Amino acid sequence: MTDRYILAIDQGTTSSRCIVFDRRATVVALARAEHPQSYPQPGWVEHDAARVWRDVRKLITRALRDAGLTADKIAAIGIANQRETTVVWERATGRPVAPAIVWQDTRTAPLLDGLDPDVLRERTGLPPATYFSATKARWLLDSIPGLRSKADRGEVLFGTMDSWLIWNLTGGLHVTDVTNASRTQLMNLATLDWDPVLLDIFAIPRAMLPEIRSSAEVYGTADGLGVPIAAAIGDQQAALFGQTCFEPGDAKCTYGTGGFLLLNTGTTPVRSAHGLITTVGYRIGSQPPVFALEGSIAIAGSLVQWMRDGLGLIGTAAEIETLAATVTDNGGCYIVPAFSGLFAPHWRSDTRGVIVGLTSYVTKAHLARAVLEATAWQTRDVVDAMNADSGLALTTLNVDGGMTADNLLMQIVADVLDVPVARPMVAETVSLGAAYAAGLAVGYWSDPRDLRANRHRAGRWLPTMDPAKRATEHATWRRAIAAAVLFSSP
């Protein structure tokens, strides 16, 4: 496969990317397009799935053009995607029946009533939450007249964004991988198949569900390109793979729209007793699946976007670092950004965001600092739970994602966690994970361990905060969390 390349499609919450990688994991070309999010009602978050597909199709063409390549030079295509976002479309026409319901959406909260947390956790590793796909699909079936009868007949199909893209790329192949399936709350972690009990609980017809496959295998061929589609993997699991976290105890955190910390736990799932998610990390071909513990933070980079678009306090997202660096602390102000409820380890869908500690002393610079600190303290909550569940103490946090360009944020994270923070040379680790999985499936790379030779560190931050100050600020953060919960209680 001399002079051939891998094409990765990274379909994210706010944008889509197509990246061409060479054998050394060097980015040869990158094409990117933002897509809008719609907020038709409080708590509702939607995407235009048809537009997402049109954008991806254009980005593939642009990435190949910018790389100076024709399709025959591409060894395989790998897909990474926002995970729980739910699309239902017509089998005959390929048209979505409604806007895609995004993972951040909380409209399905009433459907959580009466769900047995023990049953869900035992079978799926997941708690009852609006985060996952099952209640989203149920809401669509209940809300659109005639849709349920069509679903029973297999006339409409359900999928996360990987399924939607593969369907369109191949002209009708309906599949998903184990990582995305594990986030629907419909797959049994033990069998890696759709669970009849869960389908009954959520009233989801099996006829509308995709076939579950491994994360790295050839699913089919992209129409018009003749290139094998050889990987699909949820974006955060893709980042774990791209960071080459192949050994139990390896951990990474991706800072994008949200924040997602995953810890490789090996081939045995670890059931969390501290509010984390047990999920499939990845599966290569017919090998045993690798599991992970995950802590999901709903609001990280999107809090910066809110500062920019909602409040108008900054002109660009990058300005927040400059503004926050003009002060040495948050002025006593803390922001709990529970715009979509509190995710791990709290799992309070009913909670809404609060700003506490406001005085006339607080300026927009202090607010900017509090925004960055909110991401760090939410990370601390997850790391504490992860250490307790795994019996291990995190020694280094590998980070990636757009927010890691903010050096001040990375220093704050190191200070709050009291561990070093390391950023790799290739920032596009989600895309790289999808590329690695696809390349392994077609023999472009021979062994996951060989991929570690491609990893090079671009930045490292060491903790410098006084331990007493860290303890005091952590206690204040916990009071802010309690205030958010109290404010949202009836």
Backbone angles phi, psi at 117, to 5 degrees: -60, -35
The residues near 235 (Cβ < 8 Å, ≥ 6 apart) are 10, 11, 12, 80, 81, 82, 83, 254, 430
Q: Are 74 and 8 in contact (CB under 8 A)?
A: no
- In angstroms, the CA 176 to CA 54 distance is 20
Annotated ligand binding at 37? The verdict is no
- Residue 306 DSSP label: I
Q: Enumerate the H helices of 102-183 as residue ranges.
A: 117-124, 133-143, 147-152, 161-170, 178-181
Q: How far apart are CA 414 and CA 245, in angstroms?
A: 20
Contact predicate 225/57, CB 8 Å: no
Tell me if 17 is assigned to a ligand binding site: yes
146 annotated to bind ligand: no
Query: How many other C-beta atoms lie within 10 A of the C-beta of residue 286?
Result: 7
β-pair partners for 259: 255, 297
Report the half-sphere exposure of 219 (CA within 13 A, side-chain side).
Answer: 35
The DSSP code for 375 is H
Number of neighbouring beta carbons within 10 Å of residue 93: 8
E strand or H helix at 47, and its extent? strand 46-47
- Could you give the C-alpha distances from 125 to 67, 195, 270, 279, in angstroms and in order? 42, 13, 9, 6
Is 84 part of any known ligand binding site?
yes
Any known ligand binding at 131?
A: yes
Residue 294 annotated as binding? Answer: no
CB 134 within 8 A of CB 185: yes
Quote the CA–CA distance of 385 and 295 in Å, as a whole number. 8
Place of tokens 């069998």: 191
Query: Which two structure tokens, joined as six digits, stand for 150?
Result: 């069509």
H or E segment at 277? strand 277-282
Dist CA 101 CA 38 (whole Å): 10
Report whether 123 belongs to an annotated binding site: no
Could you report how far apart the first and last alpha carbons of the chain are, in Å? 62
Residue 13 known to bind ligand? yes
Residue 191 marked in a binding site: no
Q: Is 24 annotated as a binding residue?
A: no
Q: Is 65 annotated as a binding residue?
A: no
Name 353's Cβ contacts closer than 8 Å, sequence gap at least 6: 299, 335, 336, 337, 338, 339, 484
As annotated, the binding site for ATP includes 13-15, 257, 301, 305, 402
State the binding site for ADP. 13, 17, 257, 301, 402
Residues at the binding site for glycerol are 83-84, 131, 235-236
Residues annotated in a binding site:
13-15, 17, 83-84, 131, 235-236, 257, 301, 305, 402
